[in-house]
Structure 1
């Protein structure tokens, strides 16, 4: 299945326009299309739903081009993750259908300095990036950091390029917020040097596709560091958190999505906001009406068609070790997949010197740490591909099928899809009407219904049990 659309057929390597991707709900907001443009007034902006989208003239938005067809990570004609990984890691000794090609896999943390304490997880993302700078292997690292000098209506976070260890350290922590790459890709193209790029799976894929077309980017982007991903959230999740903490976004100066506490399990997320009046608000995610990540609140629609959880095209990728005993360790623990021989040398040296503490694990262990995400991106995607829809359909590595799925699992996937879709719309209505309670009341009912399906809780759960739809399945 390459594509389904009511408009003229575009299979077989045809050109693609930005509007085609946007109308199909497949724009993830990476900015690769905007980064290609020269001499045109185009940019990436937050849309009314708080998601990054390209903005330009109608002529540009509707102009089909071959470069976009080859570089958009959700294009029907873009190479998939297997093809990209095969070309970049042909000699990798391991291959697994769920985590891709790899040289080695580990679980552990950074022992050196305060990398672990300052990061959301085990501190290894920043440790590896800093090591690349220390060894002179790169001149800059493109990563997400708080927006400098942010004004009230501007995004909380943005990509930047750090050229010093201290600047890079200040960008540590997870940011569940829409960002885009166009600015840093343009800088890399215009400023000579060697660069590393840190990003979620679809962003790293976009970088790989861009470097395949642009020899300057291919020469200058020498390392890619991937982050495991559940899905992309819109900027409205941060705003919803602010509402629930009794503040408006215009008052928020900083947001830490995961305040770390050694005496709490790592998977007990706690958000902290600093406000312009100098006060701080803190709240546990599970007290938020939309704090259950797996329910899908504010998910980008394109994430419904992603099958890469672990950044399979990155030289090295990192996630949280969501299995015991690691998930109960509040200090944070990473699971790491190494694909590049050079980065494997760096990691091995760090282990030997005691600066990082890592234990080898197999592909099955890595997949188990991301079991819920893998199930949603493979089993769930296979089911979603059976649904009738108009517009572009990217070629995926799973086949459309609902075979073997229980009624309950199908209902869970349908419910997640509905929550993701309607959370954007109802939040927008509440925002325009200045009635936060409208969204919060809907979200509370939606979450209760979802928990009834997924975990057999409350009146919905009792009905599910009565109908005989419960089973041993994990509800995530």
Structure 2
């Protein structure tokens, strides 16, 4: 019996659609919001085949990150199982202008985009910017063609967006473009470039962002419920308001309401304020094995290790894969424009240790659970190994929180009773944190289980 074709409908039904918009590029195929506040393709989707199975980033028939990187960076002098192929790595920040102050971290993403524009290497940058005027929509991709426009896209945007409109705009308008995005979006563009000569010619640079997972639009609803504001009154959201006087990882969420009032709260006071617990995570993120945008020309993350994580001004880690960008950064370091120091693969991987556990050890375990519909083909082999029971329970709990947060938020929206979600989230977070951080706390349920069973965590 012939295997069923890989279509957008099947990818969506299998929970593998990340909503990148790469398949929604014709007049009959568009992107929509699903019931959980995530972007999904709609329209004449079956017509996207046969190229769709080669361009969807989660299709098992598409080339993986190793194959893409080998083709794009064949002469890269370094290769690491975690970071992929690369030229060099750095930690630091932008030393000139207002880039560092204006960004969530060290300002490097905006600086590289602006420098490529300044030097004439590109004519525009496709990146995520704030928008107004559409209820419940706070960000979307746009093309910026000046430093001032690039500055609009600074800071972290944990909001679902898609690239369908900017890909169409790049097709329609000749020029050279950079695209900024998370790892799966970078992979999608690379796969699209292999199929579409116009995109291959015009998209000349990919600027990747390290990623833990993508959130749904309901994360903003949760902020509103916890800040005693109707979600319909929210006009702007800031996920990571920076304070130079506090550690960089002390996040503060901020909402601007319809009457101009601004409300904020530190993440650790939120019922879903632990990123690692996976609240509102897109289901496709459970099947991703790329933390550091391995197919991008350059990739950026936060330096979540001391002493950098305590520096509220923000610090980037940078993985450079393009020789041209390597030379550009080296020149700027020599001129004092960038405050960067070279670091090795182990240092960079340590800054993202939790993400690598989730997408290596955790992914291997999740691949043993069995899956309905399309099974992704990953570079991580299924296996439990000698994974301790407590770690297995952490991964099970995180997956459960990810799935049920969408459902409980949906119930809260449908009934108008926010406590349906916030009450459930408070209990779920306590359970997760007891599992994840309870080691050494005498008297906890988990310590007692270990004492009775003599088992490892």
Instruction: Pick the TM interval, shorter chain.
Output: over 0.9
Q: For 1:326-357, what per-residue CA distance to the aligned partner results, in whole angstroms no more than 9, with x for missing partners?
A: 00000000000000011111111110111110
Distance 1:453 1:47 in 2: 32
**Which residue of the partner structure matches residue 90 of structure 1?**
74
SS at match of 1:378: helix
Distance 1:171 1:362 in 2: 29
**Which residue of the partner structure matches residue 33 of structure 2?**
46
TM-score (norm: length of structure 2): 0.97
**Which residue of the partner structure matches residue 225 of structure 2?**
243
**Which residue of the partner structure matches residue 9 of structure 1?**
3
Q: For 1:66-113, what per-residue CA distance to the aligned partner results, in whole angstroms no more than 9, with x for missing partners?
A: 211000000010000000000000000000000000000000000111
Q: Aligned runs of 1:100-119 on 2, under 5 Å? A: 100-119=84-103
**Which residue of the partner structure matches residue 141 of structure 2?**
159
Q: Aligned runs of 1:307-322 on 2, under 5 Å? A: 307-322=289-304
Q: Establish whether residue 73 from structure 1 lines up as the match of residue 60 from structure 2.
A: no
**Which residue of the partner structure matches residue 23 of structure 2?**
33
Preserved CA contact (<8 Å) 2:7 2:49: yes
Q: CA deviation at 1:461?
A: 7.4
Distance 2:143 2:2 in 1: 41
Preserved CA contact (<8 Å) 1:72 1:206: yes
Distance 1:99 1:236 in 2: 31
Preserved CA contact (<8 Å) 2:439 2:447: no
Q: Establish whether residue 284 from structure 1 lines up as the match of residue 271 from structure 2.
A: no
Alpha-carbon RMSD across the aligned residues, in angstroms, is 1.7
Q: For 1:345-399, what per-residue CA distance to the aligned partner results, in whole angstroms no more than 9, with x for missing partners?
A: 1111110111110000000100000000001000000000001221111210010
Q: CA deviation at 1:471?
A: 9.4
Distance 1:430 1:254 in 2: 21
Q: CA deviation at 1:403?
A: 0.6
**Which residue of the partner structure matches residue 205 of structure 1?**
187
Q: CA deviation at 1:43?
A: 1.2
**Which residue of the partner structure matches residue 312 of structure 2?**
330
SS at match of 2:24: helix
Preserved CA contact (<8 Å) 1:145 1:159: yes
Distance 1:458 1:435, change over 3 A: farther
How many residue pairs match? The answer is 455
Distance 1:353 1:77 in 2: 46
Distance 1:274 1:199, change over 3 A: same
Preserved CA contact (<8 Å) 1:452 1:461: no
Distance 1:467 1:250, change over 3 A: same
SS at match of 2:51: helix
Q: For 1:285-313, what per-residue CA distance to the aligned partner results, in whole angstroms no more than 9, with x for missing partners?
A: 11110110000000000000000000000
**Which residue of the partner structure matches residue 3 of structure 1?**
none
Distance 2:295 2:70 in 1: 9
**Which residue of the partner structure matches residue 375 of structure 2?**
393
Distance 2:109 2:429 in 1: 32
Q: CA deviation at 1:457?
A: 7.9
Q: CA deviation at 1:9?
A: 2.3
Distance 1:335 1:151 in 2: 35
Q: CA deviation at 1:152?
A: 2.1
**Which residue of the partner structure matches residue 140 of structure 1?**
124
Within the candidate set 153, 170, 173, 2:152 is matched to 170
